[in-house]
Structure 1
Amino acid sequence: MSQSAAVLSRHQKAALMAPALQPLGWQLIELDNFDTDSLGSFAGERPRFMSPYECALRKAALAAELSGLDVGIGSEGSFAAGPYGLGTYNLELICCVHISQGWAVTGRFYGPAQAQQWQIQTLSQLDAALASVPAGQHLLLQQGGYLQKALSTEKCRTLASERLALGELQLSYDLRAHLSPERQQHIALAAQNLAERLQSRCPACATPGFWPDIAIAGLPCESCGAPTPLTAQKQACCARCQHQQYYPVPAQYAQSQYCPECNP
């Protein structure tokens, strides 16, 4: 059955989501008449005052409200240190709300990402940094209160060479979706996850989004059998009727290094 959905974005995200949702019969309409940077920006000139999930949900609700459609979609990305503080990880959330049916489903991607930053003092440092930038990735140039966005490597080289006469500057990836090829790939994967979740319905009430997101600890130690902090099973819980189901993880035992009894 055909379903029209509004996507709130000024960065061409609807085109990234469409391949995953079109097989479900969904037609996406991008709304670009709302300044999504007002909810927080990557460059930091507008601080973020909501969590990534809250922001994605807010955008989805706004998409439905501004379009007059039943279904609204909002997307939000964030970057932070990876597990154990290693590397940088990108979290992409795509929230879909259905106003008349009263549900919200959120697809997600979480994985390693490039989000480079450099402190540049010399032309040789500038050339080395720009040589490492992947094709299509745009850049931010900052120096005190000076900020330029959406710079190609060529334009960045010209501006940065001029600004270096005034002192050190900071160069970083422009991580807005339409200017970051890697992030575009991650948004497409989050959209695929959203499509899968939309098709996964609660066995009790048929509400979409019945998904084993909740990790239940207690995987037994391989040496002594004591419960460990590792995940023993996953739980799915319906947001509407609270129906629950449990799913075992592939592992049967945890290595003893994770056991609080064997390694107190």
Structure 2
Amino acid sequence: MEASPFRGVVASLATMHGKQWALRPLLRRRLGLSLRLADVDTDVLGTFTGEVRRAGSARETVVRKARLGMAATGSPVGLASEGAFGPHPVAPWTAADVEYVALLDDRTGLTVVEHVVSVETNHGHVVTDGRDLAAVLAFLRGVGFPHHAVVVRPAAGTAQPVKGIGRLTDVLAAVRRACAESADGAAVLCADLRAHVNPTRMRVIAAAGERLARRLATPCPACAAPGFGPVGAEPGLPCRDCGTPTPRDALLIFGCDRCPYRSRRPLADAADPGSCPVCNP
């Protein structure tokens, strides 16, 4: 392995949810980078269950989270990850997990953010009045319970959710309480998306970390700074049948965080006519 500018460096990692288990081994192996856990409350930046709303995008938040860890530890190098769940950006009928991992290095002014979009997620919920046990059990099987924990909250009202539930008896008791506390007599049962109780999400975080490690091991062809990689795309891929430019991306733009150097690489030869404004108006 080529000499890494991060070999022997200790970076802060801002996490409350065990993400070091996904990131520490691969960063040490690929970059020689060690991680030091930062004692910070990352929930102040937002929670999946809505008690604290996230201000800004996941990409913006992952940089703020890394800054929290750097401030808490005094380290000039910081790492963080942040996830977002919802419709897939290309196939909106499919649920997706988008995981961002960022490394900030104040020694050199470097900020590198990578991400992975994955359909491997148990993101979902069901509303129940507690009487249809079969529906509750079917949902639990679908989200990988008990290997994946769940959250229960009242469907209407301000009562706090119960998180990290991993036993069936506790799920059923929490559903009964939530129904009793809810203004409409119903409870919401959903997958717990926090990384330490969601092995599926932890695997996606590891994949994002692997992509970040590869990028940090790639020097800029112009200035040799680490982190050369994709920074954008250009649409206009021509239709396979008529040659009309389509909204599909034609070129992937690679760039450096430290200097203006950019390069462009084609993504594909042609677009399917289904995305063509002429062939499929």
Shared topology, TM-score over 0.5? Answer: yes
Among 25, 32, 44, the alignment partner of 2:32 is 25
Q: Distance in 1 between matches of 2:272 and 2:179?
A: 53
Structure 2 residue 152 is the aligned partner of structure 1 residue 141:
yes
TM-score calculated relative to the size of structure 2: 0.87
Q: Distance in 2 between matches of 1:163 and 1:229?
A: 46
Equivalent residue, structure 1, for 2:202: 184
Equivalent residue, structure 2, for 1:16: 22
Among 87, 109, 121, the alignment partner of 1:81 is 87
Q: Distance in 2 between matches of 1:56 and 1:244?
A: 24
Does the Cα contact within 8 Å between 1:212 and 1:247 map onto a contact in 2?
Answer: no
Residues 100-152 of structure 1, C-alpha deviations (whole Å, 9 max, x = no match): 11011112111112212011121423333334331421111111333211111
Equivalent residue, structure 2, for 1:71: 77
Structure 2 residue 165 is the aligned partner of structure 1 residue 151:
yes
Equivalent residue, structure 1, for 2:139: 129
Query: Shift of residue 256 of structure 1?
Result: 2.8
Among 241, 246, 260, the alignment partner of 1:242 is 260
Does the Cα contact within 8 Å between 1:12 and 1:30 map onto a contact in 2?
Answer: no
Q: Distance in 1 between matches of 2:203 and 2:81?
A: 14
The answer for unaligned runs of 5 or more in structure 2 is 1-6
Q: Secondary structure at the match of 1:85?
A: coil
Among 92, 106, 109, the alignment partner of 1:102 is 109
**Percentage of pairs with the same residue:** 33
Letter in 2 for 1:129: F
Does the Cα contact within 8 Å between 1:105 and 1:208 map onto a contact in 2?
Answer: no
Does the Cα contact within 8 Å between 2:13 and 2:78 map onto a contact in 1?
Answer: yes
Note the 1:162-181 alignment, pairs <5 A. Answer: 163-164=178-179, 167-181=185-199
TM-score calculated relative to the size of structure 1: 0.92
Letter in 2 for 1:202: C
Equivalent residue, structure 2, for 1:44: 50
Q: Distance in 1 between matches of 2:97 and 2:148?
A: 16
Q: Distance in 1 between matches of 2:275 and 2:11?
A: 46
Q: Distance in 2 between matches of 1:8 and 1:16?
A: 13
Equivalent residue, structure 2, for 1:262: 279
Does the Cα contact within 8 Å between 1:6 and 1:71 map onto a contact in 2?
Answer: yes
Letter in 2 for 1:145: T
RMSD (Å) for aligned C-alpha atoms = 1.8
Q: Distance in 1 between matches of 2:105 and 2:21?
A: 20
Does the Cα contact within 8 Å between 2:87 and 2:95 map onto a contact in 1?
Answer: yes
Does the Cα contact within 8 Å between 1:123 and 1:161 map onto a contact in 2?
Answer: no
Query: Shift of residue 237 of structure 1?
Result: 2.1
Does the Cα contact within 8 Å between 1:6 and 1:30 map onto a contact in 2?
Answer: yes
Equivalent residue, structure 2, for 1:116: 124
Query: Shift of residue 172 of structure 1?
Result: 0.6
Q: Secondary structure at the match of 2:242?
A: coil
Q: Distance in 2 between matches of 1:223 and 1:129?
A: 45
Q: Secondary structure at the match of 2:196?
A: helix
Residues 9-50 of structure 1, C-alpha deviations (whole Å, 9 max, x = no match): 11111121012201111111111x211111111110111112
Runs of 4+ in 1 over 6 A off after TM superposition: none
Pair 97,160 (structure 1): closer, same or farther in 2 beyond 3 Å: same
The answer for unaligned runs of 5 or more in structure 1 is none
